[in-house]
Structure 1
Amino acid sequence: MSLQLYSYQEGILAQLRAGFASGHRSQILVAPTGAGKTEMAIALLEATRVKGNRSAMVLDRIVLCDQTSARLQKYGIDHGVIQSGHWRYRPYEPIQICSAQTLEKRGHFPGLKLLIVDEAHQTREMMKHFIKNNPDVRVVGLTATPFTKGLGATYTNVVSSVTTAELVRLGRLAPLRVFIAKEIDMTGAKKVAGEWAQDEVTTRGMKITGDIVAEWVKKTHEVFGGPRKTVVFCSGVAHGADLAQQFAAAGYNFVSLSYNDDDQFKADAIAEFSKAETTIHGLIATDILTKGFDVSDVMIGISARPFSKSLSSHIQQMGRVMRSHPGKEFALWLDHSGNYLRFQDDWDDVFDNGINELDDGREKTKKELTQNEKEAAKCPACAHVWPGGADTCPCCGFVRARRTDITAVPGELQELAANAEKQKKQEWLSQFVGFAIEKNRKPGWAAYLFEDKFGQLPKGGLPDPAEPSPEVRRWIKSNFIRKAKGKQKEAA
């Protein structure tokens, strides 16, 4: 089977080559989970081999080396795996696969021209030193979540030209249907470095194990008519074991995986789960399933591991259930952690606009929503998340009434609609002015943003500035990206 790339993948590789040509030695390729980063990496490895040069791909775990080796073998590309006793140990091959741990032990990689670093957001000191001390090696880091502090010191250029929204439209990813379920209560829990302590998360997660199982049974039957493949992100090893027991008591086979299990057991469980006619209804783990887990017919994800600030982990987890599969129109996301609402603004921005710069500012403790805000964010009938600005639930069709002090008769509807539109434009203009002042630009710059948004310049003078809302900020960022891409196409 020969390697065939999609047009957007070819475009990303062209951007990487242009980056190298302009002097960037170390670049980071940012693309959503499911965009085919491994395929793009393989294309780079093969292109380097064709030119007579050596290349290597470094992965975070040994099991991922085997997965990548299998992918290369599928495409008929010769390579070696640098691992003691590995059946594919072929140091003479120009393409090599190895784990970060192996590279740490070796400390060097002679004759290398290209190094690809998987999961580049998980910075290892060894990797940073290797990149710094080998200036003749070109480096490409791969990640879906480049939010780690200090990445900019290692990678000087960000290459990203496809968003999650675009991949959903292309059918390369499945959209999520999100339900807000009973939440693990983290009120007053202690934190370590801004994140909730592991023992607190585990203890509190176990208090709602029964609710997690009951909600899954309810939703999988309501939506699919029976059990469907599921991955559960639990709060700890003990929580995972407790969940497996209670799923079993309900008549379902869920297997809990943890660092306590040997690699062969985990590999065998994932292999069985990957089968179309598997005997396993679901896998449960804390972190194991967030890296390199590629089972595309998973239909349900359960979030039961609260994060206070780790947007990266939240996005990586959702990506595990969004992979496309024949007949898969959507995936369910059952949120018991509070993560979806906690990170919703950031996730909406990443979903629509992608990531075009290294921004470690996203990884900070999020403000907790009040109970009223949480209730207002979901449908009171089915608990599906309300889409922005909508009054009808896309899942069950429930229509919520908007509170208003205005009483209108039919003849006044047109006038009220016009007034509402005028007020909306005025609010946006005020926030554009606030944004201009925030960026040390002249207030008049807001008029051009207004024209881009509404197709006309504002009438009259500029209003007083207002704090830009997350929605306005997302639109401004998206507008900047759209214009930049337009200029790139014109230049080409």
Structure 2
Amino acid sequence: MSLQLYTYQEGILAKLRAGFAEGHHAQMLVAPTGAGKTEMAIALLEAAKARGNRAAMVLDRVVLCDQTSGRLQKYGIDHGVIQSGHWRYRPYEPIQICSAQTLEKRGSFPGLKLLIVDEAHQTRAQTIQFIKNNPEVRVVGLSATPFTKGLGKTYSNVVSSVTTGELVRLGRLAPLRVFIAKEIDMEGAKKVAGEWSADVVTERGLKITGDIVAEWVKKTHEVFGGPRKTVVFCSGVAHGADLAQKFGDAGYNFVSLSYRDDDSFKDDAIKEFTKADSSIHGLIATDILTKGFDVPDVMIGVSARPFSKSLSSHIQQMGRVMRAHPGKEFALWLDHSGNYLRFRDEWDDVYENGIHSLDEGREKAKPEPTKAEKEAAKCPKCSHVWPSGTDTCPCCGHVRERRNDITAVPGMLEELAAANAAKAQQREWYAQLLGYAVAHNYARGWAYHKFKEKFGVEPKFRDVMPLEPTAEVGRWIRSRNIKWAKSRQRAA
């Protein structure tokens, strides 16, 4: 089976090559879960080999090394795995797969010309030092969530040309259908370095185990007519064990996995869960399964591990259930953690606009929505999250009534109408800027930055289709281009 890339993947690789030609030593390839980062990495490894160069991909777990090796084997690409006792130890091969720990122990990699770092947002000090000590090696970091502070000190260029929203529209990812369920109460909980402590999260998560199981039973039957493959992200080891027991009491086979379990036990459970006719209804994860877990027919995700600031963990968890699969029209997301509303603005931005720079400071503790805001954000009939810009629930069709508290205030209706008109105009502009970007083969981020230049705010619109620019929009773009050209002339 030969490796075939999508058009957007070819475009990303072309941008990486252009970045190296411009003198960037280390670049970050940013793409959502499901975009095919491993396939793009394999294409880079194969291209390096074709030019007579040595290339390596470094991963932070042995099981991920095995998975990547298996992917290379599927495409018929010869390679070696640098791992103690590994059956594919072939140090003479131009392409090598190795664990981060192995690379750190070696300290050097003679003749290496290209290094690909998987999950590059999880910075390991020794790997960063290796990159700095070997400026002759071209480096590509892979990440869907490059929010770790300090990444910009290692990676000088960001390459990203596809967003989660675009992949959903292309059918490469499944959209989420989100329900807000009974939430773990974190009011007044202790924090360590801005994040809720694991012990407190576990203690409070145990209090609603029964609600989590009952909600899953209810929703899986309402939506699918019966159980479907599920991944539960729990609050801690004790919480996972309690959930597994209560799911079992309800007649369902859920297996709890954590960092404390033997690797062979975890591997066997995941292998069984991967089968189309698996005897396991769900996996319960404690701080695992947020990377290297690829089971596309998972239909349900349960969020039961609250995060105060870790947007990356929230996005990684949702990505586990968004992979496309034949017949999978959507994935169900049951939120008991409060994370979806807590990170909604940031998620909407990443979903539609992607990520174009590092060290953005996204990973900060988020203010908690009020109880009133939480209630207003979900359908009172089915608890589905209200989408922006509509009063009709997309799940059950319920139409919410809005209390009009401003009708008795002179001038307020006119002000509201003007605000709505301004928002509609901004949406039109954004759609036309997208249309211009498509027509000129620009990345979607171009429209994002031009909109921000025009209106001074970020475009936070969902499902905007590109439109042909009007004469007004065209004139504005030309004026910006002329201004930019003149500034370049003055600089020269």
Is the structural similarity TM-score above 0.5? yes
CA contact (8 A) 2:352 2:461 kept: no
1:344 aligns with 2:344: yes
Which residue does 2:258 correspond to in 1?
A: 258
CA contact (8 A) 1:79 1:93 kept: yes
CA-to-partner distance for each residue in 1:416-443, whole Å, 9 max, x for gaps? 99985434346899xxxxxxxxxxxxxx
Measure the CA separation in 2 of the matches of 1:340 and 1:476. 16
Which residue does 1:192 correspond to in 2?
A: 192
CA contact (8 A) 1:146 1:360 kept: no
CA separation of 1:66/1:426 partners in 2, compared to 1, >3 Å: closer, same or farther?
A: closer
Which residue does 2:447 correspond to in 1?
A: none
Q: How many residues align?
A: 446
CA contact (8 A) 1:353 1:477 kept: no
CA separation of 1:452/1:277 partners in 2, compared to 1, >3 Å: closer, same or farther?
A: closer
CA separation of 1:95/1:454 partners in 2, compared to 1, >3 Å: closer, same or farther?
A: closer
Measure the CA separation in 2 of the matches of 1:197 and 1:387. 32
CA separation of 1:31/1:426 partners in 2, compared to 1, >3 Å: closer, same or farther?
A: closer
Q: CA deviation at 1:287?
A: 2.0
1:178 aligns with 2:178: yes
Q: Which amino acid aligns with 2:361?
A: G
CA separation of 1:450/1:393 partners in 2, compared to 1, >3 Å: closer, same or farther?
A: closer
Q: Which amino acid aligns with 2:85?
A: G
CA separation of 1:131/1:24 partners in 2, compared to 1, >3 Å: closer, same or farther?
A: same
Which residue does 1:35 correspond to in 2?
A: 35
CA contact (8 A) 1:240 1:285 kept: yes
CA-to-partner distance for each residue in 1:20-74, whole Å, 9 max, x for gaps? 0011010000000000000000000000001111000000111100000000000
CA contact (8 A) 2:259 2:286 kept: no
Runs of 4+, deviation exceeding 6 Å:
416-419, 476-479, 481-484
Which residue does 1:294 correspond to in 2?
A: 294
CA contact (8 A) 2:180 2:334 kept: yes
* TM-score, structure 1 normalization: 0.86
Q: Which amino acid aligns with 1:188?
A: G
- Please point out which of 417, 424, 428 is paired with 2:420: 424
Which residue does 1:86 correspond to in 2?
A: 86
CA separation of 1:476/1:264 partners in 2, compared to 1, >3 Å: closer, same or farther?
A: closer
CA-to-partner distance for each residue in 1:353-400, whole Å, 9 max, x for gaps? 000111341000000011110000000000000001210000000100
CA separation of 1:454/1:242 partners in 2, compared to 1, >3 Å: closer, same or farther?
A: closer
CA contact (8 A) 1:177 1:333 kept: yes
CA separation of 1:103/1:398 partners in 2, compared to 1, >3 Å: closer, same or farther?
A: same
CA separation of 1:8/1:208 partners in 2, compared to 1, >3 Å: closer, same or farther?
A: same
**Secondary structure, in 3 states, of the residue corresponding to 2:213?**
helix
CA-to-partner distance for each residue in 1:287-314, whole Å, 9 max, x for gaps? 2100110000000000000000000000
CA contact (8 A) 1:150 1:360 kept: no
Which residue does 2:48 correspond to in 1?
A: 48
Q: Which amino acid aligns with 1:205?
A: G
Measure the CA separation in 2 of the matches of 1:88 and 1:335. 42
CA-to-partner distance for each residue in 1:124-175, whole Å, 9 max, x for gaps? 1001100000010000000000100000000000000000000000000000
Which residue does 1:355 correspond to in 2?
A: 355
* TM-score, structure 2 normalization: 0.86
Alignment of 1:41-120 (within 5 A): 41-120=41-120
Aligned-pair RMSD on alpha carbons? 2.7
Q: Which amino acid aligns with 2:344?
A: Q
Q: Which amino acid aligns with 1:262?
A: D
CA contact (8 A) 2:32 2:163 kept: yes
CA separation of 1:450/1:96 partners in 2, compared to 1, >3 Å: closer, same or farther?
A: closer
Measure the CA separation in 1 of the matches of 2:84 and 2:174. 39
Measure the CA separation in 1 of the matches of 2:397 and 2:95. 54
CA contact (8 A) 2:407 2:413 kept: no
Which residue does 2:473 correspond to in 1?
A: none
Measure the CA separation in 1 of the matches of 2:372 and 2:406. 24
Q: Which amino acid aligns with 1:354?
A: G
Q: Which amino acid aligns with 1:90?
A: R
Q: Which amino acid aligns with 2:291?
A: K
Measure the CA separation in 1 of the matches of 2:431 and 2:392. 26
Which residue does 1:303 correspond to in 2?
A: 303
Q: Which amino acid aligns with 1:242?
A: D
**Secondary structure, in 3 states, of the residue corresponding to 2:355?**
coil
CA separation of 1:7/1:227 partners in 2, compared to 1, >3 Å: closer, same or farther?
A: same
Which residue does 2:458 correspond to in 1?
A: 474
Q: Which amino acid aligns with 1:393?
A: C
Unaligned segments of structure 2, at least 5 residues:
433-451, 470-476, 486-492
CA contact (8 A) 1:428 1:472 kept: no
Q: Which amino acid aligns with 1:17?
A: R
Q: CA deviation at 1:246?
A: 0.6
Alignment of 1:77-476 (within 5 A): 77-404=77-404, 421-425=417-421, 452=429, 473-475=457-459
Measure the CA separation in 1 of the matches of 2:241 and 2:428. 57
CA contact (8 A) 2:352 2:460 kept: no
Measure the CA separation in 2 of the matches of 1:198 and 1:17. 42
CA contact (8 A) 2:80 2:88 kept: yes
**Secondary structure, in 3 states, of the residue corresponding to 2:205?**
helix
Measure the CA separation in 2 of the matches of 1:192 and 1:176. 31
Q: Which amino acid aligns with 1:122?
A: Q
% same residue? 78
CA contact (8 A) 2:290 2:320 kept: yes
Q: Which amino acid aligns with 1:375?
A: E
Unaligned segments of structure 1, at least 5 residues:
409-415, 430-448, 456-467
Measure the CA separation in 2 of the matches of 1:390 and 1:308. 28
